[in-house]
Structure 1
Amino acid sequence: MKKLFFIILVFILAVTVVVHAEEAPIVTSGRASIVIDASTGRILYENNIHEEMPMASTTKIMTALLAIENAPLDYVVKVPFEAQGIEGSSIYLKSSEEIKMIDLLYGLMLRSGNDAATAIAIELGGSVEDFATLMNKRAKELGANNTNFMNPHGLHHNEHYTTAHDLALITRAALNEPVFKEIVKTKLYVADRSTNQYFSNKNKFLRLYDGGDGVKTGFTKRAGRCLVSSATRNEMQFIAVTLDDPNWFNTTMELIDHCFENYVAHIQHEEGEALKTIPTINGKTNALKLVTSKKIIIPIKPEEEGNLSSVIEAPENIEAPALKGQKIGKVYTYLNDQLLDVTELVANEDIEVLTFKDKLYRFFRLKKN
C-alpha cells in the first residue's frame, strides 16, 4: 500500500511540474493589446488587435512622424490663430508666436500639446482637414489599413479611429526616425521660448520600467486610457500598445516583461559579414565581397532557432566601377515561411576600372605564364 501511495504521489508531482512548465496565458484589462518587435515587426503577443477604436493622443505619433519627414527641425513656425486655446493638453502657444519645429515636436510628444499638433497640421497641410488627408495617406503606405484620422491631436471624433495593430505599425515607422526615438525617451526638455519652455514627459513608463524608452500616452472619456510603450534590453526593442485600458501602465509592463522573458536576441548575421562573392567585369580586383549593412537580430523563442533561414538576392556579377558601401543585393531572413527582415548587401571595398595599361600588364603576364 505504501508503495502504491508513493507511485501515485510521484505521478501527481510529475503532472504538476508539467503544468507549471507551460507558458501561462496573459490576461490584460485592455480592450485591445499587442506587442511587436521594433526591428522586424514580428508580432509577439496579440489580443483583439484589429478592432477599430478611438486612440486619443496616441494620434500624435503620426503627427510627429509626418513633421519629421516633411520639415527641417530648425524650421520656424508662425503659430496660426486656430492653434491658440485648443481644448485639452497645451504648451500655451500664442497666435503669431514664432517657434522652431523641434520645440513643437517636444511639446507635442512630452506635454501632449493639442495646440502644438494643430500648429504643425496647419503649417504642413494648410488646414487640419488637409493634414488629416496626409495622415491617412501615410497610414495606408505603412499598411495601417484600418485607421482613419480626422485631426492631428486625437480629440474625439466618431470617424477618428485605429487598431492596436495599426498603431503598432505607425509607431514602428516613427521609431525608425532617430529624432523621434530621441524625443520620446526624453524626460525633460527646455524649449527655445521666453515662457512655458520646460516640458516634462507625461509618460510615466520611462520612470517605471527598466529600459523604457517611449512612447506616448492618450486619454479621452470616449477612448479610455491608451498607451504605446517601448523598451530596449539585450539588443531588442519591443513596442506594446494597449487601448481602452484602466491599468494601462501595468498592462504594457506585464506584456513587455513576458516578451523579454520568452524571447532571446538571435544574431542571424553580424554587421559586415560577407555572405556572397561575385565576379567583377573590367575591375582591378577580380571579385567583390557583398557584406551585410547592419547586424540582423531576430527575437525568437529558443526552440525556434532551427526554423530560421536566409535567402540571398544578388547579381551574378558586377561591372566596375563599384564603391564601398554601394547597395548591390539583399538578404531575406525567414522564420519558417514568414519574412521577418530584409537587409541590404553592400560592397566591402572600392573596385576601380581596369585602365588600358592594366589590361596590357595582365595580357603580357598571362602570356608569360
Structure 2
Amino acid sequence: MTKTNFFSKKNLLIKTIALIFMLSFFLPFSNIANADTPTKISTETTTNDVGPNLSAKYAISMDLKTGEVIYSKNADAKAYPASLTKLMTALLFAEHANKTDEITFTKEASIQPPYSLHSNWPGVSITVGQKMSGEDVMKALLMFSANDAAYMIADYVGGNSKNFANMMNEEAKKLGMKDTHFVTANGLQDADHYTTAYDLAILLKAAFANPWVKETMETKNSSIMINGKRVDLVNRNELLGKDGNIAGKTGTTNDAGNCLASVYNRDGREILGIILFSNDMHTPDNRYKDMEAMMNYSYSAKPEVFIKSGQSIKDVTLKYKLFGFFGPTKEITVPVTVDQDVMMYNNKFNKNHTDITFNSNGDSAWKASSKDSLDLTLVSGQYKTTVKGSIGISKFDLIKANIFVYLGVLVGIALIVLIILFIIRTINKRRSRRSRYSSYSNYRRRY
C-alpha cells in the first residue's frame, strides 16, 4: 500500500463515520411520550365581574350548544336546589319508563306535603295503590311540581326512595356534576341535599336534551287524570312563552329561597339560565326579573380577549432521546405560547376554571421542535375548544443543551478512528516488512 493510497482511505473512513453520525442526528426522530395525561397550564387574566345586578345569590347563564358560561355569580358555590331537583327525577324517569306505563301512588308519596296531587284540588283524591299514566305523572312533576309525583317516580324507578337517591347521585356523577349530592326526589330541604348553579346548568342541559322531558317543560297548559277525574294544569313557570322563554322549572323552599331554571331561544340561539335564592319566600318574588335581566345581558354579551396572542402560558417538560433514535432519555423544559387571541366571555367562572392543556401526543422534543404550530386545548368547565399555539424550542436549543455531550462523542469517535488507523497502519507496516524480507530471502536463494 502506497502512502497516497493509505491517506486516501484514511480520509474516506473519517468522512464516512462523520456522515453516519450526522445522518443519525438529523433524520426524523423517534416519538417519546411526554406523559399519559396532558400538561395543565394555568391562565392569568384581568377578567373583572360584569353583567346585570341581580338580587339572586347564585346565578349562571350558558350557551346550550357549546356549554360556554356567559354570565356567572357564585356559580360554583354550594346552594340548595329546591324543586329544581325534579329535573333529575324527570330525567331518570324518562330514561327508565314510558308515557304509557302505569305508575302506582305509593305510601311514601302519600305523606308528601303540598304542592301534591293528593292534597291540592278539592274534591279530587288519590289513595295508595291507585295508578296514573307515566305521561300524567311527568306533567304533574314538571308543570305543577307535585311533591308526591316525585316519590311515585322514585318508588317506580328505584324500588324505594333510598335506591332512587343513589341513582340520582350516580347520574349526577356521570353528567359531571362534581359538587352535587341528592337526598330527596323532590328537593325538600335536607342539609345534605345540595348543588351549585353550574351543576344545575349541566343538569338542565341534559334534561332538556331528553325529548319527553323537553316536551313537558315546553307545555304551558294541559290536563291529567287523577282517580278518573280531570285536573287542568298550568305551567308554574310564569315566563314560559315570553321573550323567547321556551322551557323552565320553578323551585321554592325556606332555605333555598325562590329558584328558577329556564331555557331561551332567541333568533335560533338557545341559552339556559339558573337563578338560585333570588329572594326568600317572604318578600316579593324577584326570580323572574333576575332571569329576564340575566338573559337580556347574555344575548347581548360578546366574547372578549381572554388571553392575548403571543402570551407565554406555562413551561412544560418534554422528553427526548439524546441521539434521536438512541441514547439516554433526557428532559427539557420549554415555554408554550398561544398564537391567537383567545376569546371568552368575561366572567369569574371562566377566570377561575379555565385551563389550557398541551398534549405532546407522543412527540419527542425533537419532533415538537420541528412543528410550526401546535393544537392547544382550552377547557372551562365542560366547554372545550382548540386554540393555536407554539412551543419555544428549536433543534439548535436541543443541541446547545447537550453541546458538551456531543463534543465528547465527537472526540471519542475521533480517538476511535485514530486508534483504528494506527492499528491498520501498524498491520500494513508489518505486512510490508514481511514482504520485503520474503523478497530478500528469495533473492539470496537465487544467487
Q: TM-score, normalised by structure 2?
A: 0.54
- Residues 250/336 of structure 1: CA separation in 2 closer, same or farther (3 Å cut): farther
Q: CA RMSD in A?
A: 2.4
The aligned counterpart of 1:347 is none
Q: Over residues 155-190 of structure 1, what are the superposed CA-to-partner deviations in whole Å (9 max), with x where a residue is unaligned?
A: 111101110000000010001112111111111111
Specify the SS of the correspondent of 2:229.
Answer: coil
Specify the SS of the correspondent of 1:242.
Answer: strand
- Residues 24/42 of structure 1: CA separation in 2 closer, same or farther (3 Å cut): closer
The aligned counterpart of 1:25 is 51
The aligned counterpart of 1:134 is 167
1:206 aligns with 2:240: yes
Specify the SS of the correspondent of 1:238.
Answer: strand
Q: Over residues 304-345 of structure 1, what are the superposed CA-to-partner deviations in whole Å (9 max), with x where a residue is unaligned?
A: xxxxxxxxxxxxxxxxxxxxxxxxxxxxxx998348579xxx
Specify the SS of the correspondent of 2:264.
Answer: strand
Specify the SS of the correspondent of 2:240.
Answer: helix
| C-alpha distance in 1 between matches for 2:252 and 2:230 | 23
| C-alpha distance in 2 between matches for 1:180 and 1:300 | 31
1:114 aligns with 2:140: no
| C-alpha distance in 1 between matches for 2:243 and 2:127 | 38
| C-alpha distance in 2 between matches for 1:88 and 1:55 | 17
Shift of residue 24, structure 1, vs aligned partner:
6.0
The aligned counterpart of 1:366 is none
The aligned counterpart of 1:53 is 79
Shift of residue 152, structure 1, vs aligned partner:
0.5
Contact 1:218 1:226 in 2 (8 A): yes
Selected match of 1:231 from 248, 254, 264: 264
- Residues 49/300 of structure 1: CA separation in 2 closer, same or farther (3 Å cut): closer
Selected match of 2:300 from 261, 277, 282: 261
Contact 1:91 1:196 in 2 (8 A): no
Specify the SS of the correspondent of 1:69.
Answer: helix
The aligned counterpart of 1:188 is 221
Aligned AA (1:195):
K
Specify the SS of the correspondent of 1:170.
Answer: helix
| C-alpha distance in 2 between matches for 1:225 and 1:115 | 20
The aligned counterpart of 2:378 is 337
| C-alpha distance in 2 between matches for 1:96 and 1:248 | 38
| C-alpha distance in 2 between matches for 1:169 and 1:33 | 13
Q: How does 1:1-369 map to 2 (within 5 A)?
A: 25-92=51-118, 93-193=126-226, 194-207=228-241, 209-246=242-279, 247-263=286-302, 337-338=378-379, 340=383
| C-alpha distance in 2 between matches for 1:197 and 1:88 | 16
Structure of higher RCO (CA pairs closer than 8 Å, 6+ residues apart): 2
| C-alpha distance in 1 between matches for 2:55 and 2:180 | 22
Shift of residue 224, structure 1, vs aligned partner:
0.6
Q: Report runs of 4+ in structure 1 exceeding 4 Å deviation.
A: 338-342
| C-alpha distance in 2 between matches for 1:39 and 1:69 | 22
| C-alpha distance in 1 between matches for 2:178 and 2:233 | 33
Contact 2:257 2:276 in 1 (8 A): yes
Specify the SS of the correspondent of 1:240.
Answer: strand
Specify the SS of the correspondent of 1:147.
Answer: coil
Specify the SS of the correspondent of 2:70.
Answer: strand
Aligned AA (1:254):
A
Specify the SS of the correspondent of 2:72.
Answer: strand
| C-alpha distance in 1 between matches for 2:268 and 2:377 | 23
Percent identity over the alignment is 30
| C-alpha distance in 2 between matches for 1:196 and 1:135 | 31
Aligned AA (1:134):
M
The aligned counterpart of 2:364 is none
Q: TM-score, normalised by structure 1?
A: 0.65
Aligned AA (2:170):
K
Q: Over residues 104-138 of structure 1, what are the superposed CA-to-partner deviations in whole Å (9 max), with x where a residue is unaligned?
A: 01000011000100100011111111100000000
The aligned counterpart of 2:7 is none
| C-alpha distance in 2 between matches for 1:24 and 1:141 | 32
Contact 2:115 2:145 in 1 (8 A): yes
Specify the SS of the correspondent of 2:299.
Answer: helix
| C-alpha distance in 2 between matches for 1:178 and 1:126 | 24
Specify the SS of the correspondent of 1:160.
Answer: coil
Shift of residue 37, structure 1, vs aligned partner:
1.2
The aligned counterpart of 2:365 is none
- Residues 123/24 of structure 1: CA separation in 2 closer, same or farther (3 Å cut): closer
Aligned AA (1:248):
R
Shift of residue 263, structure 1, vs aligned partner:
4.9
Shift of residue 233, structure 1, vs aligned partner:
1.2
Q: Over residues 87-113 of structure 1, what are the superposed CA-to-partner deviations in whole Å (9 max), with x where a residue is unaligned?
A: 121122431111111110100001100
| C-alpha distance in 1 between matches for 2:189 and 2:74 | 21
Shift of residue 300, structure 1, vs aligned partner:
8.1
The aligned counterpart of 1:286 is none
User: Which is higher, the Rg of structure 1 or of structure 2?
Assistant: 2
| C-alpha distance in 2 between matches for 1:244 and 1:25 | 18
Shift of residue 42, structure 1, vs aligned partner:
1.0
Aligned length: 254
Aligned AA (2:94):
I
Q: Over residues 198-235 of structure 1, what are the superposed CA-to-partner deviations in whole Å (9 max), with x where a residue is unaligned?
A: 1111110115x311112111101111111111111122
